[in-house]
Structure 1
Amino acid sequence: MIDEATAKSKYWVEEPPIHAHPDAVALIRHSRPEFQNAESMVDLLKDIRLKAWKIKYYPCVGLWHFFKFGMMQLPIYPEIVERLRQGQRILDMGCFMGFDGRKLIMDGAPSEGITNMDLEDQWFPLSYELFQDEDSFKGEFFGGCDINDEKLFGEGSIHRHRYDMIYIGYFIHLFPPKRQRVIINNLLQMLKPVAGSMIFGNTAGTAKENGYLMKADFAPPIKNEKGEFERPDFIFHSTRTVVDLMASSVGEDEEWEFIAEKSSFDTDTSPTKAFAQHFKDAEIVEVDFCMRRK
């Protein structure tokens, strides 16, 4: 795994982007009205972020990318809120501290229909420390959840065919390209096999039509076919490659709709020069996508 000094040189911005993301500030103030303005919450945000960083040196933590609500920016967001109001259930897979779920609640969705899930359960106490809503949040948090583990989604699991909607915000790019089709298949085992059920999300993408492949320096080395340790591959998907991934992950006996759109990558956190240099050839954009059963 990358050491902290190297990670911080590439993936660390000191000040929270409070003026670039008013929705995040409004959400925190919704739960914590004692913060009368954005500036008054800076010390708390820095403290929470530092605690999260000590758990995992993720770029999204160091660069404050978690401060942006990927779900809210999707055109289908009003539909998601309405379906939750009607009693459907959503799974936020790789939820981090559950920002998107709490934004759903602020926008009128009942918390009972929200399930947050992550491999790392140490994020959850931090989320309660930030939002102070442990007594009012009636949704679910499941930690220690490995999407590679069949016990999570296989026969007998409480999660099997349980969810109407599954959100994978900035999640799929965490896995090597050769593994991503399996990951989508595993997620499908948790999705209800009914018309309208959907998996949707966002990923770090590229403007290059065929995607962009590089080595992931923030992931632990893995053994290659020769038994040698090397960094795993990391892919920035294009709109075309992410649709190809989704289409190849479903059976031909079902009809699906696939949508992928690109938007500008969030650069308002002023990434470090090392970050810009590291990804200079990737032509980074954001890719939003959805696969829905017809």
Structure 2
Amino acid sequence: MIQLYSAIWRVSGKRQIVLILLSLAIAALAAVPLSYQKDIINGLTGNDLQNSDLIRLCLGMMGMITLSLGLKALMGYRASILGEDVTRLLRNRIYEGAVEAKATFTESKRGGTLATMISAEAEELGKFTGSAFSEPVVQFGTLISVVGFIASTQPFLGAIALCMIAPQVVLVLGTQKQVNRLVGERVHVLRRATDESLAEGLERVNQSVVDDFDAIFETRRSIFIWKLSTKFLLSAINGAGTVAVLALGGLLVLDGRTDVGTVVAATIGLDRLRGPTSFLIAFYRQVSATRVKFDLLREVAGPQNAKNN
């Protein structure tokens, strides 16, 4: 994984810095709307909120939301353009490397592998490059911002938020190794099937190619089982966290140890945590799978081309 990120930084370091700065700004704004919601609800339930105060709070909240969305749009555009630029760079280098090592691809009949690398694998790596640094920063920063807000208003509810995140991390780390193995197998089988189909031509059906297609199907089926089973458990943990916040928060309100606005803000905050948590889990899966594909790409492209990437 270090090699993957080192290669990404070499080709896009300066542009990644801009994306990281945008990510930090977005993360810093993540909990601001929750503070506005808390003040509005407490003001309404306490009957001490004037019309002008309500309008001011609502306008302030909408301003923060608009600013955050604008920064996200800018970051998304720059990340997408960066991804496309790196995809173009990868395709050029793979193609130039194949031309220099023409004998390798012709004598071993690996034209299908070359086509797969240029059309699909280079695009996957390029897209990943655009969000390799910025997305985890903004999502992890959002987690810190929201959990910090909840903990500052009510430590017990903040503890519940942390308890929701920890088992999800452990669960994903425990299952991703198996998914990575299946991803590597799928790429190898797909390359072999493509090479064999092009080598044999279309004059007859090659049974080994058909068998490879069946193997790809079975591999994907196994990946689906692992991912969906993990998703089920993660969703159950999120649901349990919401119920726990409502139960504990309700008891604290009844005991007079907190206010309704804090409980509502904490509940909404948990919903805000699901997005970053889900993304970080998906991102970890993506970066793990991308690392596997990156290693396979380096393996086929050759040492010199891998060094350039």
With the length of structure 1 as denominator, give the TM-score of the two structures. Answer: 0.25
Greater per-residue helix proportion: 2
Greater per-residue strand proportion: 1
Higher relative contact order (CA 8 A, sep 6+): 2
Tell which structure's C-alpha radius of gyration is larger. Answer: 2
With the length of structure 2 as denominator, give the TM-score of the two structures. Answer: 0.24
